[in-house]
Amino acid sequence: MSTPAIPEQRPESGGSLGRTESICPRCKRLLEAELLDQGGRVMLSRTCPDHGRFEAVVYGDAARYREIQRFDKPGTAPLERQTEVVGGCPHDCGICPEHAQHTCLGIIEVNTACNLDCPICFADSGTGPRGHGFSLSLAQVESMLDAFVAAEGEPEAVQLSGGEPSIHPEILEMLAAAKQRRIPLVMLNTNGIRLARDPRFAPALAEIGVHVYLQFDGFDAATQVAIRGRELTAEKLRALERCAEAGVTVSLAAAVERGINEHEVGAILTFGVEHPAVTGVFFQPVTHSGRFRIDADPLDKLTNPDVIEAICAQLPDWFRADDFVPVPCCSPTCRSATFALYDREDLIPLPRLVDVEQYLDYVSNRAVPDLAVREALEGLWSAKAAGGSAPVAARLDCIACATGMPPELRDVAARGFMVVIQDFQDPYTLDVRKLRKCCVAEIAPDGRLIPFCAYNSVGYREQVRAEQAIRNGAP
């Protein structure tokens, strides 16, 4: 006699995954929308009365999409909200009373000028004279930082971006102003050209305590030409060398586009874990908003599970798909992350040593063994985390301690290498329900905290740019 095994429970496939709202990519009008499982991928579908039907892939793996909804953590209110509900989401950002989440990461774009003219730029920045360009003053940035502190109390992470923020004449003062507000993780989002050319820049960042978020899309000349307009490897390597010498920690940020550099994700990760300055890698499927002079088909968009699959296929000895755990603060489909331990011989993702999914599951009726561990994991699986930052090291240590990891192991465990895959929404993929729980905000010069994907998709970027251009007396 033999008893059959209990069949594995698989979520059903096909059909609707629920209703939401989206916008028309042309006229930005708010539209009823539906999420559908089509051939195992999640599609967002809606019809504009003037411009017709629009569909886009929003998640490349429908089964995983269903499964990870259990990581959807209930939102936390910010201390302050800056706007009223007038036109309805997403036209009242922000943060309006309908928003369901506070802000983990604030972004300040200090300028629109750049020393590159990339074919892909959601900020539509560049080198030439721009009709609607701006460059913020130190006083403006200080008031924006104050607005962020007022909303969050003790914000943990801010990123100065652009344009190319490193060419702003007061960038060091701006970074120092963020540090003075006791924000532990102050990041500079840069293409690295100034770091490579100016030997004094990395030591200056080290003195302030800045973490560099370095655009790094791959090694192939074709990749760099397609995404950045020219080959940049020598400058990137020089920038990293200078950061290593100065003791500046770096996260590599790779824009990943289907058909351009998916094949390089493994090489970027391997390079990152081996480089002394690099403490993490962020993979970002390219956002099809602002400027993108490439063929981008919304029906074939690269999404998080596609990047995870590429990583696992290229580095099978290091990673499996379940090493990448969704970040619970935002929508679980926005961002997946892992922390890895590495010693030049082998690499082990942290979820193989600690059952992270069990702690970050907010739906299944399972007891959480230790709430302090959950809290620490929530701080690690978060938009406010970057490899090597002090709060990240403290949280890794907490987990090592609370899970009974022997003391001898804890110091090493605190040196986690962070790998993040984060998909930002564009006018084709914008899901308003997800947007309401966004925890990454563009801080506007008037102190509004505008969810990043709304800023890029709904028209806020253009609005802020026009306001600043008038303020600066630009033509």
Partner 1 sequence: MSTFPADGLEPLPSLSDLSSDAGRKDCCASVYGHREEGWLLGDELDPGGEATTRRALELAAVRRGDRLLDVACGHGASALLAAREVGCRVVGLEYGGRAVQEATASARTAGLQERVSFRRGDAEALPFEAESFDAVLCECSLCTFPDKARAARELRRVLRPGGRLALSDVVVEDPRLSAELRGPLAVIACVGAALPRSGYERLLADAGLPVLAVESRGEDAALLARRVHDRLRGARLLGVERMEGARLATADAIELVARAREAIRAGALGYAIFIAGD
Q: How far is the CB of 339 from partner 1 (least distance, A)?
A: 12
Dihedral pair phi/psi, residue 176, rounded to 5°: -65, -35
Interface residue with partner 1 among 3, 9, 364, 365 (CB under 8 A) is: 3
Binder of partner 1 out of 138, 150, 348, 393 (CB under 8 A): 348
Task: Verify binding: residue 367, partner 1, rule CB under 8 A.
Answer: no
The vertex-330 CA angle with 400 and 368, nearest 5°, equals 40
254 and 261 Cβ atoms separated by less than 8 Å: yes
1 scored as a contact of partner 1 (CB under 8 A):
yes
β-sheet bridge partners, residue 107: 159, 442
Considering only the stretches 216-224, 274-282, 337-345, 454-462, report the one whose residues sit in contact with partner 1 under the rule CB under 8 A: 337-345
Nearest approach in angstroms of CB 267 to partner 1 is: 22
Q: How far is the CB of 387 from partner 1 (least distance, A)?
A: 16
| H-state helical runs in 42-136 | 62-67
Per CB under 8 A, the list member of 405, 466, 469, 474 interacting with partner 1 is 405
Kindly tell me which residue out of 74, 129, 406, 475 binds partner 1, with binding defined by CB under 8 A.
406
Of the pair 50, 346, the CB lying nearest partner 1 is at: 346
Rounded to an integer, what distance in angstroms lies between the CA atom of residue 301 and that of residue 432?
18
- Backbone phi, psi, residue 50, to 5°: -95, -35
Q: How far is the CB of 71 from partner 1 (least distance, A)?
A: 21
402 binds partner 1 (CB under 8 A): no
- With vertex at residue 59, the alpha carbon angle to CA 50 and CA 122, rounded to the nearest 5 degrees, is 65
413 binds partner 1 (CB under 8 A): yes
Q: How many residues bind partner 1 (CB under 8 A)?
A: 21
- Specify the residue, 238 or 410, whose C-beta has the smaller distance to partner 1: 410
Rule CB under 8 A: say whether 399 interacts with partner 1.
no
Residue 408 interacting with partner 1 (CB under 8 A): yes
Across-strand partners of 211? Answer: 187
Stretch that binds partner 1, among 61-69, 183-191, 340-348, 373-381 (CB under 8 A): 340-348
Per-residue binder mask for partner 1 (CB under 8 A), 158-187, x = binder: ------------------------------
63 binds partner 1 (CB under 8 A): no
Q: Outline where DSSP puts E strands in 202-334.
A: 211-215, 250-256, 278-285, 291-292, 325-326
How do strand 30-38 and strand 41-48 relate by DSSP bridges? antiparallel
- b/e 99-129 (16+ beta carbons within 10 angstroms → b): bebbbbbbbbbbbbbbebebebbbbbbbeee
Helix (H/G/I), strand (E/B), else coil: 384: coil
Q: Is 274 in the site for partner 1 (CB under 8 A)?
A: no
- Cβ atoms of 224 and 231 within 8 Å: the answer is yes
**Residues of the shown chain interacting with partner 1 in the complex, contacts defined by CB under 8 A:** 1-3, 5, 341-343, 345-348, 352-353, 403-406, 408-409, 412-413
